[in-house]
């Protein structure tokens, strides 16, 4: 039996640099698991996600999804991009509908697709703004539409590329709660890139910590053994939460401190 | 504590509040006046200066008062038609605008298509861009003899001159627009597997639309510049030939009236394309 998503000996090098960004990354992810990838800026977190998404080719090694090697981008690995990447000339509804019409036209007829778009907008509580254009809504709302668009493709794996990085702290907390709720409801497999330790501990089943690049690789994997549903207020004082948080901080700031910051 | 906090709460219920003074409404007429008055004053001053300069005994050009007397029927009735070339300015302008419309429409279609091609294919970019860069510097009128030789008729030659004048900024701006389609949008398209024509239609065209309309706006301006010059040479009904004809019969006043009309129409063409661009690219430029 294969693992659901299997990253094996993955190395990624860009043509112009002598050293690979990532080297020999091994990671196995089970169905329904929520995995966070954390590391300093420039360690290749986003590169790793882009390879899983199929947007970048692997230099060596590869990624298997349900035993099949991925060779390009596709809706089974939907991405929520860091800067939302909504198409500004389409309304929120149309942004989601474009993805649905493009990826599910075989399974659903027109009416079903329409209902499915509305269902996904309702899932992220954006029904009221469905006819607005992206520049008429806030950053948090844009990101929610981005999540709705990704979920509407019925992905096997949901890839979140620092989805809340550009948001203010309150909006971020609100969206994190919504993502936890959606994950609990849909049991989607999630890989989330983040540089926020609290976010990683709160949301994830496992936290993959990358060493510094170039030649970055998996330094440590921490299993977050907290039952769900999780409540950010109660967890703040929970010793297991604090221990997990300390372990990640320890890794990032003591053993693998950011070289750029040290030099400064 | 209690007494302090309850007392003010109870009071508003008893005391009737004075009606809120209505906010002064911002005047609508004042900003309009502020916009309209300065150009009117400047225009009047320029007119007076012109009148003064052109009234001397050695003046070569007619003053505005003489223009009004000479060309009164041209100014007040642009719609008369006495057959042949003796028509009101409206008919001349209409003929010129028809040529521009046809030539410009052709160059818009071909220009956007070629721009898309060189914007999305490095091969065609490398192959065609140097040629375009040279050809676009050829002045519009330089094409006229060749096109007369090729088409052997005035009408298609004039349209071809419009076409070849307007097409370069349209091609170049479209290509730049296509090259500047953000990688984010390309990634989205890749994830949902939007390819080929659908990718062009749903992602590239709307993303490049602001650039395309910049090209179209430059193009329509150049077309209008070129048609006047081209018509002077090819003759027939048209505002360019009207000016040339007036020069040949020394009707300087008619030329001045025609120039004002040409300017106004050119201004309107620019505004019409800009408006079309604003409507078509709603929402695209922001965010």
- Which CATH number goes with the domain that contains B133? 1.10.3720.10
Of B78, B73, B53, B76, nearest to B64 (Cα)? B53
Task: Give pLDDT < 70 ranges for chain A.
Answer: 1, 259-264
- Enumerate residues 6+ apart whose C-beta is below 8 A from A130: A91, A92, A93, A118, A121
Report the distance separating Cα B120 and Cα B216, nearest Å.
19
Q: Strand pairing partners for A193?
A: A37, A161
Residue B56 forms part of a structural domain: no
Report the distance separating Cα A112 and Cα B42, nearest Å.
64
Q: Do the beta carbons of residue B187 and residue A81 sit within 8 Å?
A: yes
- How would residue B31 be classed by pLDDT, with cut points 50, 70 and 90? confident
- Facing residue for A55 by CB, picked from B187, B193, B207: B187
| pLDDT score at A16 | 84
Query: Greatest CA separation found in chain B?
Result: 101
Q: Does A18 touch chain B (CB under 8 A)?
A: no
Mutate to test the interface with A, among B181, B190, B191 (most CBs of A within 10 A): B191
| pLDDT score at B13 | 53
Whether A55 and B190 lie within 8 Å, measured CB to CB: yes
Domain tally, chain B? 1
Q: Strand pairing partners for A80?
A: A160
Expressed as residue numbers, the domain containing B240 is 86-281
- Facing residue for A75 by CB, picked from B192, B203, B282: B192
| pLDDT score at B166 | 95
Does B279 score more than 60 pLDDT? yes
- Facing residue for B193 by CB, picked from A75, A89, A135: A75
Whether A55 and B193 lie within 8 Å, measured CB to CB: no
Q: Is A22 left (phi over 0), alpha (psi -120 to 50) or beta?
A: beta
Report the distance separating Cα B222 and Cα A66, nearest Å.
59
Q: Does domain A32-54+71-76+158-264 fall into CATH 3.40.50.300? A: yes
Chain A residues whose CB is inside 8 A of the B209 CB are 89
Alpha carbon distances (Å) from A63 to A58, A87, A102: 8, 29, 25
Of A118, A41, A122, nearest to A82 (Cα)? A41
At A237, list the tokens: 């004082």
Does B286 score more than 50 pLDDT? no
Alpha carbon distances (Å) from A184 to A177, A189, A227, B138, B280: 11, 10, 12, 66, 42
Q: Work out the average pLDDT over B68-78.
A: 86
Name the residue of chain A whose CA is nearest to B282's CA.
Answer: A89
Could you tell me the residue ranges of all domains in chain A? Answer: 32-54+71-76+158-264, 85-154
Whether B184 and A85 lie within 8 Å, measured CB to CB: yes
CB proximity under 8 Å: A 113-142 to B: 133-135
Residue B26 forms part of a structural domain: no
Does B10 score more than 90 pLDDT? no
Whether B286 and A53 lie within 8 Å, measured CB to CB: no
Q: Does A154 touch chain B (CB under 8 A)?
A: no
Q: How big is chain A, counted in residues?
A: 264
Of B258, B224, B264, nearest to B243 (Cα)? B258
Does B23 score more than 80 pLDDT? no
Q: Does B40 touch chain A (CB under 8 A)?
A: no
- How would residue B284 be classed by pLDDT, with cut points 50, 70 and 90? low
Q: Work out the average pLDDT over B168-178.
A: 95
Residue B250 forms part of a structural domain: yes
For A5, the 3-state DSSP assignment is strand
A197: closest CA of chain B, how far (Å): 26
Q: Does A244 touch chain B (CB under 8 A)?
A: no
Of A12, A42, A39, A34, nearest to A25 (Cα)? A12
- Facing residue for A88 by CB, picked from B193, B202, B286: B286
Residue B238 forms part of a structural domain: yes
Whether B187 and A77 lie within 8 Å, measured CB to CB: no
A20: closest CA of chain B, how far (Å): 23
Does B4 score more than 60 pLDDT? no
Q: Work out the average pLDDT over B102-117.
A: 95
Report the distance separating Cα A176 and Cα A244, nearest Å.
18
- Enumerate residues 6+ apart whose C-beta is below 8 A from A6: A27, A28, A29, A63, A64, A65, A67
User: Above pLDDT 90, what percent of chain B?
Assistant: 67
Residue B74 forms part of a structural domain: no
Q: Do the beta carbons of residue A140 and residue A101 sit within 8 Å?
A: no
- Facing residue for B187 by CB, picked from A81, A102, A103: A81
Name the residue of chain B whose CA is nearest to A56's CA.
Answer: B187
Whether B184 and A134 lie within 8 Å, measured CB to CB: no
């Amino acid at each position: 039996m294969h693992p659901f998503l299997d990253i094996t000996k993955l190395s990624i090098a860009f043509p112009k640099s002598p050293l690979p960004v990532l080297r020999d990354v091994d990671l196995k992810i089970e169905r329904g698991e929520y995995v966070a990838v954390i590391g300093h800026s420039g360690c290749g977190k986003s590169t790793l996600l882009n390879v899983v998404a199929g947007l970048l080719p692997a230099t060596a090694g590869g990624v298997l999804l349900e035993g099949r090697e991925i060779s390009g981008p596709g809706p089974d690995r939907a991405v929520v991009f860091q800067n939302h990447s909504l198409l500004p000339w389409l309304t929120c509804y149309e942004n989601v509908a474009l993805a649905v019409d493009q990826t599910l036209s075989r399974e659903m007829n027109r009416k079903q697709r329409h209902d499915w778009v509305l269902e996904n907008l309702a899932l992220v509580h954006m029904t009221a703004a469905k006819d607005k254009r992206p520049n008429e809504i806030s950053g948090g709302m844009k990101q929610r539409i981005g999540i709705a668009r990704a979920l509407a493709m019925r992905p096997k794996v949901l890839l979140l590329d620092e989805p809340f990085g550009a948001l203010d702290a309150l909006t971020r907390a609100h969206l994190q709660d919504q993502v936890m709720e959606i994950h609990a409801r849909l049991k989607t497999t999630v890989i989330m890139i983040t540089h926020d330790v609290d976010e990683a501990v709160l949301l994830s089943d496992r936290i993959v910590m990358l060493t510094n690049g170039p030649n970055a690789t998996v330094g440590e994997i921490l299993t977050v053994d907290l039952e769900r549903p999780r409540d950010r207020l109660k967890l703040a004082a929970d010793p297991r939460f604090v221990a997990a948080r300390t372990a990640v901080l320890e890794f990032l700031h003591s053993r693998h401190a950011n070289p750029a910051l040290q030099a400064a | 504590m209690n007494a302090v906090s309850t007392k003010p709460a109870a009071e508003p219920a008893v005391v009737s509040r004075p009606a809120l003074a209505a906010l002064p409404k911002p005047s609508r007429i004042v900003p309009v006046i502020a916009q309209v008055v300065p150009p009117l004053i400047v225009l009047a001053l320029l007119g007076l200066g012109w009148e003064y300069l052109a009234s001397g005994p050695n003046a070569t050009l007619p003053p505005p008062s003489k223009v009004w007397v000479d060309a009164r029927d041209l100014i007040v009735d642009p719609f008369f038609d006495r057959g042949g070339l003796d028509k009101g300015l409206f008919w001349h302008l209409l003929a010129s605008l028809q040529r521009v419309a046809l030539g410009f429409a052709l160059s818009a279609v071909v220009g956007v298509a070629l721009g898309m091609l060189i914007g999305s294919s490095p091969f065609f970019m490398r192959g065609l861009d140097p040629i375009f860069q040279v050809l676009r510097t050829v002045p519009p009128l330089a094409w006229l003899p060749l096109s007369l030789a090729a088409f052997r008729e005035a009408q298609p030659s004039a349209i071809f001159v419009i076409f070849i004048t307007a097409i370069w900024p349209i091609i170049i701006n479209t290509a730049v627009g296509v090259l500047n389609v953000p990688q984010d949008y390309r990634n989205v398209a890749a994830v949902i597997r939007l390819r080929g024509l659908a990718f062009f239609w749903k992602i590239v065209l709307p993303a490049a639309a602001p650039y395309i309309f910049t090209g179209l706006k430059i193009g329509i301006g150049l077309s209008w510049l070129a048609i006047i010059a081209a018509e002077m040479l090819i003759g027939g009904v048209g505002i360019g030939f009207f000016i040339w004809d007036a020069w040949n019969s020394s009707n300087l006043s008619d030329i001045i009236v025609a120039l004002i009309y040409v300017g106004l129409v050119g201004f309107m063409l620019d505004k019409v394309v800009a408006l079309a661009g604003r409507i078509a690219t709603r929402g695209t430029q922001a965010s």
